[in-house]
Amino acid sequence: MSSLRTLSTARRALRCWPPINLARTSRTPIRTFQNYAKLQQISQVDGSIKAGTMSKNSRENAGATTPAFNPTLPFFSLTGKTAVITGGARGLGLAMSKALVMSGADLAIVDINKDEAKKQAVAIARLFSETYPNQKTPKVTAHYADVSAKSDVDAAIAEILTQHSQITNLVTCAGFCENCDAIDFQPERIKRMLGVNVEGTYYFATGVAKHMMERQIAGNMVFIGSISGSIVNVPQPQALYNASKAAVRHLAASLAVEWANKDIRVNCLSPGYMLTEIAMDAQILVDNPGLKAEWESKIPQGKMGAPEELMGTVAFLSSAASRYITGQEIKVDGGYTVC
């Protein structure tokens, strides 16, 4: 990796980076969308912006997440549900964790980084209680698993069931991308990528489905795919990642059909180019300052997505509002894939 840092041309900068942390640094705040004022607060990882500090205008625009009366169809609520999310401690998974809890669900966050999951579990519960001080705060717990290891997955599900009475919902978000020329991608990295992105989804889905079937729970699953599962991103080389996300998408469709008569729905949410919250290593964009603009020029909405822009879709797919939808993929990509 260190030798790769010395690569200077844009093309070479795309080689073999564990990339897709196309994230902002902490010095670069997430864009403010006028109508997303409240969601921006929800997106605060450290909870430093408190509920109730919004302007009147932003409160009016904030929609269903304000404590004020904001009528919406009741079946969008997740009250009474218990969701499990993998990879929920950071990035897109963290925004989705907040969406589930702010919609009323109890939540078990499963992550390979349990310390971060614990920290975020506390912050999310606090966010709910500060936003809705007169309501019962959902239970939010943190659990360890490397989703690519079936023994970890089984242990995490067993642990969750000692702290929650049931599991009604699953969101599988743990996953990663690496950019590497196909002819150079090493067998151990191939195994790791398929292990986390595909096997991890499979192990969690089947483990949770078994529980749902045993208890005859009407269940719901949302697999996090990617537009890369149906298009080929350019210019970054990531053939195996693309194939892994195609597998996730088709796994959702296949399991949806297999489990439809068990009252378990399975759908796939496929994000486009998203700006994740944590800046781990945005070297790919540092080395190639024109790349973000190049991607954005191909997105009809003209910008990469913020993690918060997945919140509504994951809540919708997880709720009874989508009860006649199964086996489908919803792309949240600013229109990128329709061009």
Ligand X SMILES: NC(=O)c1ccc[n+]([C@@H]2O[C@H](COP(=O)([O-])OP(=O)(O)OC[C@H]3O[C@@H](n4cnc5c(N)ncnc54)[C@H](O)[C@@H]3O)[C@@H](O)[C@H]2O)c1
Q: How far is 185 from 190, CA to CA, in rounded Å?
A: 7
Q: How far is 104 from 106, CA to CA, in rounded Å?
A: 7
Interface stretch with ligand X, choices 50-58, 109-117, 121-129, 249-257 (CB under 6 A): 109-117
What minimum distance in Å lies between the beta carbon of 314 and ligand X?
11
Q: Say which of 58, 97, 148, 226 is annotated catalytic.
A: 226
Among 121, 170, 173, 252, binds ligand X (CB under 6 A): 173
Task: Please choose, from the candidates 274, 260, 265, the residue with its C-alpha nearest in 3D space to the C-alpha of residue 220.
Answer: 265
Residue whose CB is less far from ligand X, 13 or 92: 92
First to last CA, the chain: 35
Among 104, 138, 175, 334, binds ligand X (CB under 6 A): 175
Distance (Å) of CA 271 to CA 115, 226, 308, 314, 318: 26, 5, 11, 11, 16
Interface stretch with ligand X, choices 40-48, 76-84, 105-113, 288-296 (CB under 6 A): 105-113
Alpha helices in 132-266 (DSSP H): 150-163, 187-194, 200-215, 239-259
What angle, 0 to 180 degrees and rounded to 10, lies between the N-to-C axes of helices 311-318 and 91-102?
50
Interface stretch with ligand X, choices 6-14, 250-258, 267-275, 323-331 (CB under 6 A): 267-275
Among 19, 93, 138, 334, binds ligand X (CB under 6 A): 93
Q: How far is 150 from 85, CA to CA, in rounded Å?
A: 16
Interface stretch with ligand X, choices 31-39, 82-90, 97-105, 163-171 (CB under 6 A): 82-90
The yes or no reply on residue 336 touching ligand X (CB under 6 A) is no
Among 41, 81, 87, 330, binds ligand X (CB under 6 A): 87
Among 37, 54, 92, 291, binds ligand X (CB under 6 A): 92
For residue 76, count other CB atoms closer than 10 A to its CB. Answer: 17
The structure tokens 């010395």 sit at 6
The yes or no reply on residue 273 touching ligand X (CB under 6 A) is yes
What minimum distance in Å lies between the beta carbon of 22 and ligand X?
6
Count of residues of this chain found to bind ligand X when the rule CB under 6 A is applied: 30
Whether 132 is catalytic is no
What minimum distance in Å lies between the beta carbon of 65 and ligand X?
21
Q: Say which of 38, 81, 118, 245 is annotated catalytic.
A: 245
Q: Say which of 241, 270, 318, 336 is annotated catalytic.
A: 241
What minimum distance in Å lies between the beta carbon of 131 and ligand X?
23
Whether 58 is catalytic is no
The yes or no reply on residue 148 touching ligand X (CB under 6 A) is yes
For residue 325, count other CB atoms closer than 10 A to its CB. Answer: 13
Whether 244 is catalytic is no
152, 81, 212, 258: CA torsion to nearest 10? -100
Among 101, 103, 104, 111, binds ligand X (CB under 6 A): 111
For residue 160, count other CB atoms closer than 10 A to its CB. Answer: 21
The yes or no reply on residue 251 touching ligand X (CB under 6 A) is no
The yes or no reply on residue 276 touching ligand X (CB under 6 A) is yes
Q: How far is 304 from 117, CA to CA, in rounded Å?
A: 26
Q: Give me the amino acid identity at 95.
A: A
For the chain, what is the total number of helices (H) and then of strands (E)?
12, 7
Q: Which residues form the interface with ligand X (CB under 6 A)? A: 20, 22, 86-87, 89-93, 111-113, 145-148, 173-177, 196, 200, 224, 226, 271, 273-274, 276, 278
Active-site residues, by number, are 226, 241, 245
